Amino acid sequence: MNDSSSSKFAHLALQGGNKSVAGEIPCWPPQWPSVLEAIQRTWSDGSWGQYHGKTVQEFAHTFAEYLGVKHVWPCSSGTVAVELALRGLGVNATHEVILAGYDFPGNFRAIEAIGARPVLIDVRKNGFVLDEAQLDAALNEKTKAVIASHLHGQLANIEEIKRRLQNRGVSVLEDACQVPGAKLASRPAGTVGDVGTFSFGGSKLMTCGRGGAIVTDCDASLQRIRIAAERGNDAFPLSALQAAALTPQLDTLDDRHAQRLRAAKRLREALSDSRIFRPLDDVWDDADSPAFFKFAIQIPGHHDREYLLQALTAEGAPVFTGFRGFGKRSKRRCEQVGPLANANIAAQNTILLHHPFLLGGEALVDQIGEAFQKIDACFE
Residues lying near ligand PLP in the complex (CB under 6 A) are found at: 77-79, 82, 104, 106-107, 149, 175, 177-178, 199, 201, 212
Q: Is 78 or 101 the residue whose CB approaches ligand PLP more closely?
A: 78
- Quote the least distance from Cβ 179 to ligand PLP, whole Å: 9
The CB-of-286 to ligand PLP minimum distance in angstroms stands at 24
Which one, 106 or 316, has the nearer CB to ligand PLP?
Answer: 106
Contact 89, 101 (CB under 8 A): no
- Work out how close the CB of 201 gets to ligand PLP at its nearest, in angstroms, rounded to a whole number: 4
User: Closest Cα partner for 342 from 364, 322, 357?
Assistant: 322
CA distances from 175 to 51, 158, 291 (A): 27, 10, 13
Angle in degrees, 0-180, between the axes of helices 249-270 and 33-44, rounded to the nearest 10: 160
- CB 342, min distance to ligand PLP, A: 17
Kindly state the smallest distance separating residue 177's Cβ from ligand PLP, in Å.
Answer: 4
Minimum CB distance to ligand PLP smaller for 297 or for 375: 297
Phi and psi (nearest 5°) for 352? -115, 140
**Please, what is the minimum distance in Å from the beta carbon of residue 79 to ligand PLP?**
3
| Closest C-alpha among 213, 211, 142 to residue 176 | 213
E runs forming strands in the chain = 71-75, 96-100, 117-121, 143-149, 171-175, 183-184, 187-188, 195-199, 212-216, 278-279, 294-298, 319-321, 335-336, 350-354
Backbone angles phi, psi at 144, to 5 degrees: -115, -30
Nearer to ligand PLP, 79 or 367 (CB): 79
Which amino acid is it at 312? L
HSE at residue 148, side-chain half, CA atoms within 13 A, is 31
Q: Cβ closer to ligand PLP: 61 or 109?
A: 109
Closest to ligand PLP by CB, 82 vs 229, is 82
What is the DSSP code (8-state) at residue 125? Answer: T
- Residue closer to ligand PLP by CB (options 311, 347) is 347
Least distance in angstroms from the C-beta of 362 to ligand PLP = 27
Closer to ligand PLP by Cβ: residue 111 or 177: 177
Output 77 or 171, the one with its CB closest to ligand PLP: 77
Minimum CB separation of residue 323 from ligand PLP in Å reads: 9
Distance CA 22, CA 355 (A): 17
* Inter-residue contact 368 to 20 (CB < 8 Å): yes
Quick one: 59 or 104, whose CB is closer to ligand PLP?
A: 104
The C-alpha atoms of residue 91 and residue 89 are separated, in whole angstroms, by 6
User: Within a 10 A sphere around the Cβ of 145, how many other Cβ atoms?
Assistant: 27
Residue 197's beta-bridge partner residues?
A: 175, 214
In whole angstroms, the minimum distance from the beta carbon of 67 to ligand PLP comes to 17
Q: Strands 183-184 and 294-298: what pairing?
A: unpaired
Residue nearest to ligand PLP (CB): 78
Cα angle for residues 159, 160, 165 (degrees, 5° grid): 100
Minimum gap (Å) between residue 142 Cβ and ligand PLP: 24
